[in-house]
Structure 1
């Protein structure tokens, strides 16, 4: 089991610190991808925020044994089109 998986499990159970740790790790990669796809910093910031909101709401359906980054970046890419 990964430390990331532990944070995902804890966040699913309402642990705000665990979710904040995940946000700290992934907010920059999410923003960078959105900016690359959109070419506008304001739009990229909006997509990054929406990505994190949607991910948090859907965290219960995520398999914590899998890496979180590809899932988050797929959400980002989907929201950027």
Structure 2
């Protein structure tokens, strides 16, 4: 994932957190969904963002929350799917 795309992703997640009145910073390896900081509605908007921004098709593989639980996990997912 390119640096500017990663920053766009971080900005998207920051806004999602702020929509939940969570203004705390987050590390790239920090859990966002399993920890409860973001909810299932946020996950759906994230999935739509990832499909549009990176051309992912989540219907092509079995979904697991751990695939999108952190910036690092999302980066691994995007890189793996774009390499195919």
Instruction: Point out the structure with the larger helix share.
Output: 1
TM-score (normalizing by structure 1): 0.35
